[in-house]
Amino acid sequence: MIEFPGYYDRTDPDKGYDQHLFLAGTTLQSAELNEIQIAGQARLRSISDVLFNDGAVMAGAEVFTSTAGDVCTCDAKSGAIYVAGAVRGVLPRVFFIPATGAVSIGVRLTETVVTAIEDPALYDPAVNSRNQGRPGAGRLRVAITWGYAGDGQEGAFYPVYAVIDGVLQTKQPPPQVDATSLAIARYDRQSAGGMYVSNGLKVTCLADAAGLQVYSISEGVARINGEELMFPQGRRFAYATAAATSAVALEQHVAVGGTERVPVWHTPIAAISQVAITREVSVIKTRGPTANSKDFLSPTYTSVMSIVSVTSGATTYAPTTDYLLTSDAIDWAPGGAEPASGTTYTAVIRYIELVDPATLNADATGFTVSGAVVGSAIQVSYTWNLPRFDVLCVDSAGALVVVNGPSFPANPQSPAIPGNLLALARITQDWRATTRAVVDIAVRMVPMQALNAVNRRIDTLFALVAEERLRHNLSLADQSSKKGVFVDPFFDDDLRDQGLAQTTAIAFEELTLGITSVVHTQSLAAVATLDLSPTLTEVLAQPLRTGSYQVNPYDAFTPLPALAQLQPAVDFWVDIKTEFLSPITRQFYNEVILHDPDDVRLHPDTVITEREIKLVGSTYVDAQYLRQQWVRFDLAGFGAGEQLVSVIFDDIPVTAQAIE
């Protein structure tokens, strides 16, 4: 309700008034004029709201975003937007939003009452009238300005664009009639399923950055649930992944001695918790004062497995007869020979040593260890990352979503894709950045050229079947049909049914319609002329006329941007891989020697070699990784006073150098 002194509005939709019936002799009320105006606007809006939604872009009104740190800069251009029942113009504005999270960008509508005090042009301009110079009706000024949800500005907010983590989400190009779009979407869902890629949207794996997996999605067009989504430029997508792990306890490997590489059974390794090796060492002990007693080893060798030998000078003591291994001590209890009390002797022992995992130089497939006894067991306990398939999808709002598949030790399965998502690519998560594969699984629209090519292949297939049938024509009892395929080379009429009337003919090995000829003769008794009586007959008419309409009624012009050129703008390259050596070998052996004694241009000993090149087959696949390429940026066309602040290419800062 408008608050304005002297302004009256008695509009009540519940009463169902459809029009004003003015009576002769009654006074016209200002409230009645206000009601007529409001009723007309409401009636028009009830129709326009069916065609357009609030926030629909009619012309221009583009928004460009650039992220620097925690701030995203939004450069909103001028244009026309449907808001509150009318198409309204909006002026350009630059503002800032958070670089993380989801933010709605739109316009705010404000209403202001203007009287003759604020605008003197509203005083009555009628000269020589009693009302000259007196204030007239006020005006309601409605304006929209760019903003975002939560910016604290006044006015009702109408969302237009969505920004997620500084990336502007897709929106259908203007103008869009919502009723028409809904009808097209409904038809597309019923006829083509409504979930496919029209063109583009290729996914390429890039190098990981800051612990995130990074992918590049090219520009393109897709339909999701029947609605069109346009991606006018390529975009970069990064997301964090977490692998499911499985634990392996005490996996054993046989040591070969020295410094050796130990490959584990399950890869890639997530973390090594323990590595135990058998090490051999010589220790010098002093015999205790009591006979048949124990000599305890050093606390370092608490996990002693065996005693290899015990010697003192030239004497070698026998195990079991002279000594035993009891716990972590040399036990002289058997009562055999033993060193004298207080003398030293040498014992060679084997014990289990736990190796610090930080010293193993471990990678994804194994580790390096030193000092293990040859033939002994190397025990390792570790966790490893389980493989899985992730599917990169896009939703109806244009946002990229990753659906994680279940993790299995072997043969993982692709995840089920929700019905509201369009799958673009399957990512093989083997947790190795160098071998991670990206497979295009998007359902793509088949153009008419491809359908025609399929038809040609089918025709070729039938021709090959027919040709094969003709080769066995003499040996087959039934020469005309085989497995439902009728074959006729159209050489003559021998395969035609002579008992039925034939309306076609065979000519030049082709089946064509038959032609029957009848000879007619016509002659005139005398010379005759055509009747040129003035009888007019309308042969060709053009009842249409030329009309005109305004192309840009709101003057929504966008200033010409500065010119940006890339050299090279597009990078094409071909990698050729030869699978067989036969084509190369054929270049050297398929030679024909020609001698032409009558050709004076050739020396008698001249040898001309003719080579025949045959293409066995060729396969075209999309490159899994982009190659590195130097790109030159030429920026020009800046206006007076414009200064270049920064250059960002694919979210990567680029150093620019001014050229005079």
d(CA 186, CA 307): 84
Block residue for tokens 């003057």: 555
pLDDT of residue 580: 42
For residue 591, how far is the Cα from the chain centroid?
50
Taking a C-beta distance cutoff of 8 angstroms, is the pair 308, 349 a contact?
A: yes
**Full residue range of the structural domain in which residue 435 is found:** 200-244+386-440
Report yes or no on 269 lying in a domain.
yes
Q: Are residues 433 and 454 in the same domain?
A: no
Q: Minimum mean pLDDT among 20-29, 153-162, 341-350: which range? A: 20-29
| Domain boundary, last residue among 337, 354, 384 | 384
d(CA 366, CA 267): 8
Taking a C-beta distance cutoff of 8 angstroms, is the pair 332, 307 a contact?
A: no
Q: Are residues 44 and 101 in the same domain?
A: no
Res. 100: pLDDT tops 90: no
Block residue for tokens 């299995």: 408
- pLDDT tens digit string along 299-350? 888 788 899 999 998 899 999 999 999 888 999 999 889 998 989 999 999 9
Report yes or no on 4 lying in a domain.
no
Q: Are residues 226 and 148 in the same domain?
A: no
Q: Are residues 83 and 116 in the same domain?
A: yes
Q: Are residues 147 and 234 in the same domain?
A: no
Percent of the chain with pLDDT over 70: 83
Res. 435: pLDDT tops 70: yes
pLDDT of residue 590: 41
pLDDT of residue 520: 65
Question: Residue 97's pLDDT band (boundaries 50, 70, 90)?
Answer: confident
Report yes or no on 157 lying in a domain.
yes
Report yes or no on 274 lying in a domain.
yes
pLDDT of residue 229: 83
Q: Are residues 24 and 136 in the same domain?
A: no
pLDDT of residue 548: 81
Question: Residue 424's pLDDT band (boundaries 50, 70, 90)?
Answer: very high
| Domain boundary, last residue among 338, 366, 384 | 384
Give 419: exposed, middle or buried? Use CB within 10 Å, 0-12, 13-18, 19+.
exposed
Q: Are residues 380 and 255 in the same domain?
A: yes
Which is more confidently placed, 616 or 173? 173
Res. 245: pLDDT tops 70: yes
Report yes or no on 660 lying in a domain.
no
pLDDT of residue 62: 85
Report yes or no on 222 lying in a domain.
yes
Long-range contacts of 397-402 (CB under 8 A, 24+ apart): 397/162, 397/169, 397/170, 398/169, 398/170, 398/171, 398/229, 398/231, 399/164, 399/169, 400/217, 400/235, 400/237, 402/239, 402/427
Taking a C-beta distance cutoff of 8 angstroms, is the pair 227, 187 a contact?
A: no
Q: Are residues 483 and 405 in the same domain?
A: no
| Domain boundary, last residue among 478, 496, 514 | 496
d(CA 611, CA 614): 10
Residue 282 tokens read as 């010589």
- pLDDT tens digit string along 585-643? 444 434 444 444 444 444 444 444 444 444 445 566 666 666 777 778 888 877 777 77
Report yes or no on 628 lying in a domain.
no
Which is more confidently placed, 537 or 447? 447
Q: Per the omega criterion (within 30 degrees of 0), is the bond before 268 cis? A: yes
Which is more confidently placed, 73 or 641? 73
Q: Are residues 370 and 255 in the same domain?
A: yes
Res. 170: pLDDT tops 80: no
- pLDDT tens digit string along 120-138? 888 888 888 888 888 888 8
pLDDT of residue 203: 92
pLDDT of residue 254: 93
Average model confidence (pLDDT) for the chain? 81
Averaging pLDDT over each range in 202-216, 484-498, 534-548, which range is the top one? 202-216
pLDDT of residue 585: 45
pLDDT of residue 369: 94
pTM of the prediction?
Answer: 0.58
- Strand, helix or coil for residue 455: helix
pLDDT (average), residues 360-366: 91
Q: Are residues 270 and 359 in the same domain?
A: yes
Report yes or no on 71 lying in a domain.
yes
Q: Are residues 359 and 304 in the same domain?
A: yes
263 - beta bridge partners?
A: 366
Q: Are residues 226 and 264 in the same domain?
A: no
pLDDT (average), residues 204-210: 86
Which is more confidently placed, 459 or 471? 459
Residue 28 tokens read as 């016209």
Q: How many domains does the chain have?
A: 5
Res. 30: pLDDT tops 70: yes
